[in-house]
């Protein structure tokens, strides 16, 4: 079955950086769009970044210019580089995979999700 395993979360001071990784198994990874969404307590899910199978990317306005999504098809891994972190970036971050090549701004339209990794940004 398809499995997505995130890592790289943690506690960081405002202005700092973190790099999240998501290793995928059991799918045709290179053919599929990938994305990251986050959810903080009491908040709606927010898709922060997505990447198509060909490498086209899209970002939420809240993270544009600070976050970068990338993928390594040889390693079945998608990354989220997060710079200039702010306390409002605090959330659980989830990796997600679609069964097709195109990305969506809606987390519900993806087909597989990881278990999440906590990111906490202190002020």
Q: Show pLDDT as tens, one digit a residue, over the chain (123 residues).
A: 999 999 999 999 999 999 999 999 999 999 999 999 999 999 999 999 999 999 999 999 999 999 999 999 999 999 999 999 999 999 999 999 999 999 888 999 999 999 999 999 999
Q: Are strands 34-39 and 46-51 parallel, antiparallel or unpaired?
A: antiparallel
- Between the CA atoms of 38, 88, 55 and 9, what dihedral angle is there, to the nearest 10 degrees? -70
């Amino acid at each position: 079955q398809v499995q997505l395993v995130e890592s790289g979360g943690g506690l960081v001071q405002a202005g700092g950086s973190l790099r999240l990784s998501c290793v995928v198994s059991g799918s045709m990874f290179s053919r599929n769009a990938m994305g990251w969404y986050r959810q903080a307590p009491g908040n709606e899910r927010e898709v922060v970044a997505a990447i198509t199978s060909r490498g086209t990317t899209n970002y939420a306005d809240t993270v544009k210019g600070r976050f970068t999504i990338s993928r390594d098809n040889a390693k079945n891994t998608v990354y989220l580089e997060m710079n200039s972190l702010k306390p409002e970036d605090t959330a659980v971050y989830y990796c997600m995979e679609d069964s097709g090549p195109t990305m969506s701004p809606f987390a519900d339209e993806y087909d597989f999700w990881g278990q999440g990794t906590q990111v906490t940004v202190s002020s």
